[in-house]
């Protein structure tokens, strides 16, 4: 019995020491936190971003007539001298516009175009290019590629970029150094097809 009593006392003393240690550490942590913050207000720094000048645009001259062919230029402008590549996903209404894989023309800026596809039924064009042939001229529109559409019928329609800032599975402009999508805006094209 005496031996059992010693074991119980040792266990109780051990638990007591652990409890005192926990209380000490909690109080010390609170004291350090109070010393750090003092009576100062905690201020979170917020990064202020300037407007992103990197853009992609759809450009077409004049108003197309039903049954005629016309060209839409896909251009980009950037203030970044190191552009590695770009992707464009264009959406159009096949009821008003027609295009096929032969409708796409490569631009002069990129060397390699591993993807140039047209989903004629759903009105989706996907183009990927990389490996620029030169350093990027700053703030100058550069031709990524061209689409030669046929206007099917008269009416109002549009060609839009599938674009979400920062996303990498839609329309992008890729920085050579960071491999990040730096595209800030995508300017769609409103069309009025005349009779």
| Mean pLDDT rounded to a whole number for the chain | 85
Domains and CATH numbers, the chain: 55-193 (2.60.40.680)
pLDDT in tens, 55-84: 999 999 888 999 999 999 999 998 877 889
Contact of 85 with 128, CB cutoff 8 Å = yes
**HSE-up (13 A, CA, CB side) for residue 171:** 27
Strand pairing partners for 81?
A: none
**HSE-up (13 A, CA, CB side) for residue 8:** 5
Q: How many residues does the chain have?
A: 195
Helix (H, G, I), strand (E, B) or coil at 70: strand
End-to-end CA distance of the chain: 109
Q: How far apart are CA 36 and CA 9, in angstroms?
A: 41
Greater confidence, 38 or 89?
Answer: 89
Check pLDDT > 70 for residue 137. yes
What is the DSSP secondary structure assignment for residue 107, as one 8-state letter? -
Q: How far apart are CA 101 and CA 110, in angstroms?
A: 19
User: ∠ CA(90), CA(180), CA(58), 5° rounding?
Assistant: 25
Rounded to the nearest angstrom, the gap between the alpha carbon of residue 43 and the centroid of all alpha carbons in its chain is 29
Taking residues 111-119, report their average pLDDT.
Answer: 96
Check pLDDT > 50 for residue 29. yes
Q: How many C-beta atoms surround the C-beta of residue 182 within 10 A? A: 19
pLDDT number for residue 49 = 46
């Amino acid at each position: 019995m005496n031996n059992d009593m010693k074991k119980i006392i040792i266990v109780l003393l051990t638990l007591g020491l652990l409890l005192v240690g926990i209380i000490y550490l909690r109080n010390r942590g609170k004291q350090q936190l109070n010393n750090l913050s003092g009576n100062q207000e905690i201020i979170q720094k917020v990064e202020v971003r300037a407007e992103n000048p990197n853009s992609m645009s759809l450009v077409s001259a004049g108003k197309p007539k039903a049954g005629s062919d016309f060209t839409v230029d896909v251009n980009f402008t950037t203030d970044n001298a190191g552009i590695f590549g770009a992707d464009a996903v264009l959406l159009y209404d096949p009821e008003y516009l027609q295009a096929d894989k032969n409708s796409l023309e490569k631009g002069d800026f990129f060397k390699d175009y591993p993807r140039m596809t047209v989903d004629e039924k759903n009105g989706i064009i996907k183009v990927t290019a990389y490996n620029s042939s030169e350093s990027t001229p700053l703030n100058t529109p550069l031709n990524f590629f061209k689409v030669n559409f046929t206007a099917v019928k008269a009416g109002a329609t549009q060609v839009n970029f599938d674009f979400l800032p920062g996303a990498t599975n839609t329309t992008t402009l890729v920085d050579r150094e960071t491999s990040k999508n730096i595209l800030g805006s995508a300017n769609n094209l409103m069309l009025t097809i005349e009779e």
